[in-house]
Amino acid sequence: MSSALRFEVISKAFEKKPLVIPNREDRPSEFFAKYVFNRQKMFKYLPAKVYKKMCDVIDNGTTLDLATADAVAEGMKRWAMELGATHCTHWFQPLTEGTAEKHDGFVEHDWKGGMVEEFSGKQLVQQEPDASSFPSGGIRSTFEARGYSAWDPASPVFVIGDTLHIPTVFISYTGEALDYKAPLKKALKAVDKAATAVTQYFYPEVTKVISNLGWEQEYFLVDEGLYAARPDLLMTGRTLMGHDSAKNQQMEDHYFGSIPARVAAFMKDLEIQALELGIPCKTRHNEVAPNQFELAPIFEETNLAVDHNMLIMGVMQEVARKHGFRCLLHEKPFAGVNGSGKHNNWSLSTNTGVLLHGPGKTATDNLRFVTFIVETLMGVYRHNGLLKASIISATNAHRLGANEAPPAIISSFLGKQLSDLLDELEKSSDDEVKLDGKRAMSLDIPQIPELMLDNTDRNRTSPFAFTGNRFEFRAVGSQANCAAAMIVLNTAVAEALADFKVRVDALIAKGVEKNAAILKVVREDIKTCKSIHFDGNGYSDEWKKEAAARGLDVESSAPLMLDNYVKPESIEMFKKMNVLSEAELRARLEIKQETYTKKIQIEARIFGDLCLNHIVPVAKRYQKQLIDNIKVVQGVFSDKEAAELTADDMDIVRQINSHCTFIIKNVEALVDARRVANKIEDERSKAIAYHDTVAPLLETIRYHVDKLELIVDDELWPLPKYRELLFIR
């Protein structure tokens, strides 16, 4: 990148471009799920018997026989071909980031020298992508790298462009999960089982509990020309250098501000495509940082919501390109302004339509409500370190702990009413429960007054906040697969509920009345998990001290946080709930450690290159200009006058010199640190070395680069600056 090019891309970015505003006459309800083979399409394209069987497979998880699969494939093919599809792909979520696919045409020999369009049940149900290039954490050695993807009928197939996409799980031939979806589905099954059993104390008619997820996706948009002129952004998704813009978010004028026309056109286009793909988009707005935005759909069943989030992250990037933008999903593309997260709104509900995390009207409803709140807290309390491990990554580490996002400590905000209620319950005696200090009640008719839960009482500093009828897990990173967090959360809550049921049943067996038994155990648990409850300011330093005193996980080094995956209580939980085996957990951990290392390795390489071949040469060129000028002045004026006239320039020359010397010396140190770390074989130790020795150098050197940016002539500076990246639309 030359400075001339910088000006060219800036002026292009400022140019008024024709807006590509999609024009649609029909309403969202008319084009919603146009490209999705949902129940409506199944009904239309499948024989009645096959349709019924498919509904049973989807609703009750019954297995699909090959004859039915063949019939489904036939109808699916007909539908997809009407939409112009010529290929199909199994679409899966390997343990890298993003999704993977391998396209096959709908073609077969007709054995008469021609071709026929064919798509069999077998192709629909199972494929064997070469698994050797996907991370497996040592589960399979390369020579036996056989894995297969298997259709997940709970997530409907969809068409993008000319390709029918089939959501699948990805498993090794020996049965281990190689993706996010296989364990997610198991976690959802575990929470369904445990929660249904507990729900039946209150509503015996309930036969299924559904886990819900409503994600809120934050992102940045950057003009594509400027993006291309920043090799760091291009290669790592974030800027590794760049001085603060004089104006950034301090005016708070971007949040919920009016949406710029070019961005609005992008959003509209994105929403249309998302709706056509069956993603129920609802909310869009500006976020806190300049050029930062948010998109949120209506919540859905968690498995589907996860697929939809993965899908939309891809669609966002495509649509952004069409509008001359790049969409940045990185958690921290720019230092000094807010990063991006993906709030995961989570709740449980029944097949009869009851929101288990929401208060209700009757006494039974409220005892159920308290039970589910407290047992959720129990799960989060017991596995707070593991929950943190589920959301940490090299990229999200930039966001956590900074004063803009939840700290690197998991705690739960409940709000005043709910806190008071739990306090009352905790203090109450076995035969009397007082609420609001007024109402007394006997245990056989628990009358928890209908709660008017104030969901405006938000505490933005809490990583796991109760917001009226759901919990909002806010620590999830913007580019993460939500499944990682959802696997842990749902499994932890399943374990807590299962354990709760055992203890309540034991009391009932001893002759304690059911509601009394429930209250007794709830009360016990309120006491046990008290330390996870924190309504105060999560950003404060006092909280860090207090959390440590409470025994919560306060580890702040990302590689060490990951250790939680293989703590005995984590291994036991995943095993007991039948979600992941110890071997799978160890494999996952290794992949996470390796990914952590690689991310920082790439950053360090690009950063070193940019320092040595972009920044230092330009700084020296400017330094030479100054020296030349000083020489001219010295030739014209007397020594005394010249000394006065050149004093400022001399000062800058010295500053440049000292910054450049520091940069060159420390880039060498950075290369050395990498070299040492690369020799380490054990993935954990290597990740720790990268965290402790490589990553900090990036920050130290950056300080000097950013100082140079302030003093070097703007005309020479080779990289688009923050004020250009963040304020151009």
Alpha carbons 471 and 467: distance in angstroms, whole number: 6
- Residue count of the chain: 729
Q: Which does 298 bind (CB under 5 to 8 A by kind): Mg ion, ligand ADP, none?
A: ligand ADP
| Residue 537 binding partner per list Mg ion, ligand ADP, none, with a CB distance cut-off of 5 to 8 Å that depends on partner kind | none
- Stretches 208-216, 507-515, 558-566, 629-637: which one binds ligand ADP (CB under 6 A)? 208-216
Q: Residue 450 has what DSSP assignment?
A: P
Q: Which stretch binds ligand ADP (CB under 6 A): 267-275, 291-299, 505-513, 666-674?
A: 291-299
Instruction: Calculate the CA 567 to chain-centre distance.
Output: 23
Residues between 140 and 199 with contacts to Mg ion, criterion CB under 5 A: none
Part in contact with ligand ADP (CB under 6 A); list of ranges 30-38, 124-132, 210-218, 533-541: 210-218
State how far the Cα of 381 lies from the Cα of 702, in Å rounded to an integer.
38
Is the CB of 470 or the CB of 686 nearer to ligand ADP?
470
Asked if residue 408 lies in contact with residue 388, where contact means CB atoms within 8 angstroms, the answer is: yes
For residues 472 and 525, which CB has a smaller minimum distance to ligand ADP in the complex?
Answer: 472
List, as one string, the DSSP characters of 297-315: E--EEHHHHHHHHHHHHHH
Does position 299 bind ligand ADP by CB under 6 A?
yes
Residues 6+ apart with CB under 8 A from 8: 225
Which entry of Mg ion, ligand ADP, none binds 502, CB below 5 to 8 A by partner kind? none
Q: According to CB under 5 A, which residues from 335 to 364 bind Mg ion?
A: 343
CA 93 – CA 714 distance, rounded (Å): 44
Phi, psi of 257 (to 5 degrees): -70, 175
Cβ nearer to Mg ion, comparing 195 with 387? 387
Sign of the Cα pseudo-torsion (497, 531, 400, 536, in order): positive
Tell me, what amino acid is at 57?
V
Q: Which does 355 bind (CB under 5 to 8 A by kind): Mg ion, ligand ADP, none?
A: ligand ADP
Question: Total binding residues for Mg ion by CB under 5 A?
Answer: 2
Residue 345 contacts ligand ADP per CB under 6 A: yes
* Stretch of 210-218, 382-390, 476-484, 619-627 contacting Mg ion, by CB under 5 A: 210-218
Which two tokens mark 624?
């030479």
Residue 415, both tokens: 């709000």
DSSP 162: T
339 binds, among ligand ADP, Mg ion, none (CB under 5 to 8 A by kind): none
Encode burial over 370-403: b for 16+ CB neighbours within 10 A, e otherwise. bbbbbbbbbbbbbbbbbbbbbbbbbbbbbbbebe
Tell me which stretch binds ligand ADP (CB under 6 A): 344-352, 498-506, 529-537, 619-627. 344-352
Residues in contact with ligand ADP, shown as a per-residue x/- string from 415 to 434 under the rule CB under 6 A = --------------------
The binder of 674, among Mg ion, ligand ADP, none, by C-beta within 5 to 8 A per type, is none
212, 217, 396, 646: residue in contact with ligand ADP (rule CB under 6 A): 212
Task: Rule CB under 6 A: say whether 602 interacts with ligand ADP.
Answer: no
Amino acid 416 reads K
155 binds, among Mg ion, ligand ADP, none (CB under 5 to 8 A by kind): none
Q: Which does 371 bind (CB under 5 to 8 A by kind): ligand ADP, Mg ion, none?
A: none
Q: Quick check: 133 binds ligand ADP (CB under 6 A)?
A: no
**Residue 217, token pair as written in the block:** 């996706």
N-terminal to C-terminal alpha carbon distance within the chain = 21
Residues whose CB falls within 8 Å of the CB of residue 426, separated by 6 or more in sequence, listed in order: 523, 526, 527
Q: Which is nearer to ligand ADP, 359 or 446 (CB)?
A: 359
Structure tokens at 723: 């004020």
Work out which of 275, 296, 387, 688 binds ligand ADP, going by CB under 6 A: 296
Q: Which of 347, 462, 623, 666 binds ligand ADP (CB under 6 A)?
A: 347
Which partner in ligand ADP, Mg ion, none is near 597 (CB below 5 to 8 A by kind)?
Answer: none
Q: Name the token pair of 602.
A: 């790439």
Enumerate residues 278-307 that contact Mg ion by CB under 5 A.
Answer: none
3-state helix, strand, coil in the chain (%, to 5): 50, 15, 35
How do 300-301 and 439-441 pair as beta strands? Answer: unpaired
C-beta of 243 vs 470, nearer to Mg ion: 470
The contact set with ligand ADP (CB under 6 A) reads 212, 214, 216, 283, 296-299, 345-347, 355, 469-470
The contact set with Mg ion (CB under 5 A) reads 216, 343
